[in-house]
Amino acid sequence: MPVGIAVVGCGYWGPNLVRNFWESDETELHWVCDLVPERLLGIQKRYPAVKLTHRLEEVLADSAVDGVCIATPSHTHFELARQVLESGRHVLVEKPLCDSSDKVQRLIDLAEQRGKVLMVDHTFLYNPAVQAVRGILDSGRLGRLLYFDSTRVNLGLFQRDVNVLWDLAVHDLAMMDYLIHDRRPLAISATGIAHVPGQPENMAYLTCFYADNLVAHIHANWLAPVKLRRTLLGGEKQMIVYDDLEPSERVKVYDKGITVTDEKEIHKLLISYRSGDCWCPKVPAGEALENEVRHFAECIRSGAKPLSDGLAGLRVVKMIEAGTLSIQQRGAPVELNLA
């Protein structure tokens, strides 16, 4: 039997969630809630069977609602998610989970107490290409991982209340957190700039330092003339290029690397290059959100922790906070404490 769902907020991203909850066999969309009447009219035109309201209370009074999905501006996430959890419902919150790590921690605690699912919409974790990359990494064929490098730039919507780390880099941080799951970054150095006076930073560069000489770098920019979505993963034996805009071969695995030989007698390293074939695994079709919506329903039914649980949301928000602090200090490193 499908899980009963309400979606709160249908501005920019909400309609995609509405569509996926509506179309999934695992869920039944009962309510859409928004403060803007025009948006509700748009929903009514497309989904006449869905109930509409501007009051969350009305949604929470309906016992058919098992889980609520929150897709409102991020500064409202905490208060809305709190009400949902306290009403005994499961909650899926758009990224970033909250606008501060303190609030995220309080939601984690509350969900724990109530025994409810707290899931964050880290969409890319449910993208089939990212899942293929994760499988390749987990197989060990890359050898020791050396770096992660992700670029996400385009001429995008200027946000007034949050900087580009909260809006764009959050995707790369979530992806990085998912792909590199055997350790966590220890410190962050970031630089960025606000080109419109009084507005938050619209471009940023962020380096995460891990143990064992692993580094991750993210470039996020709202003010670029072209759209780029490319992630490089360098391993000692093989390397991956994942380009989300590539129409066919989105994931490429290169049999390239270096071989370091320690010539003991001559006290000298020999470094030689390898350049072999390239392999592009078939990436299954399917929309990330469709997978994500199904996963939310499964977690509600089974009680399992979601892939993108509160702790994942907490780590990502802590990294954004550290990055923002480092930007203010023109790149000075900020230590992280990601248990």
Question: Is residue 254 near its own copies by the rule CB under 8 A?
Answer: yes
Question: Shortest gap between Cβ of 83 and its own copies (angstroms)?
Answer: 30
Instruction: List binders of its own copies among 85-104 (CB under 8 A).
Output: none
**Cβ count near 296 (within 10 Å):** 28
264 is a contact residue toward its own copies (CB under 8 A):
no
Contact between 108 and its own copies by CB under 8 A: the answer reads no
Question: Of the candidates 52, 194, 311, 338, which one interacts with its own copies according to CB under 8 A?
Answer: 194
Q: How many residues bind its own copies (CB under 8 A)?
A: 71
Contact 121, 308 (CB under 8 A): yes
Least distance from its own copies to the Cβ atom of residue 58, Å: 22
Binding flag, residue 326, its own copies (CB under 8 A): yes
Q: Which residues 20-59 are close enough to bind its own copies by CB under 8 A?
A: 22-23, 45-46, 48-49
Which ranges constitute the DSSP H helices of 49-96?
Answer: 56-60, 77-86
Question: Applying CB under 8 A, does 271 fall inside the site for its own copies?
Answer: yes
Instruction: Determine how many CB atoms are found less than 10 A away from the CB of residue 211.
Output: 9
Q: Does 149 bind its own copies (CB under 8 A)?
A: yes
Does 196 contact its own copies by CB under 8 A? yes
Q: Are strands 251-263 and 334-335 parallel, antiparallel or unpaired?
A: unpaired
Which contacts of 97-101 are long-range, i.e. CB under 8 A and separated by 24 or more positions?
Answer: 97/310, 97/313, 97/314, 97/316, 97/317, 98/74, 98/313, 98/317, 99/74, 99/75, 99/162, 99/166, 99/317, 100/317, 100/321, 101/314, 101/317, 101/318, 101/321
Residues 197-236 interacting with its own copies (rule: CB under 8 A): 198-199, 203, 205, 207, 209, 213, 215, 217, 219, 221, 223-227, 232, 234, 236
Cα 285 to Cα 16, 135, 152, 197, 253, distances in angstroms: 18, 16, 22, 43, 19
Query: Is 256 among the residues that bind its own copies (CB under 8 A)?
Result: yes
Q: How far is the CB of 265 from its own copies (least distance, A)?
A: 16
Angle between helices 170-179 and 310-328 (to 10 degrees): 130
- In the complex, least distance from residue 163 CB atom to its own copies, rounded to whole angstroms: 14
Site string for its own copies, 169-188 (x = CB under 8 A): ------------------x-
Q: How far apart are CB 271 and its own copies at their closest, in Å?
A: 5
Q: Are 87 and 111 in contact (CB under 8 A)?
A: no
List Cα–Cα distances, 173 to 155, 219, 238, 264, 268, in angstroms.
Answer: 20, 11, 22, 40, 38
CB 251 within 8 A of CB 133: yes
Residue 284 · residue 128 · CB < 8 Å: yes
Choosing from 36, 61, 155, 325, the residue that interacts with its own copies (CB under 8 A) is 155
| Closest distance of CB 172 from its own copies, Å | 14
| Closer of 36 and 193 to its own copies (Cβ) | 193
Least gap, CB of 5 to its own copies (angstroms): 15
Residue 113, strand partner residues: none
Which of 108/232 has CB closer to its own copies?
232
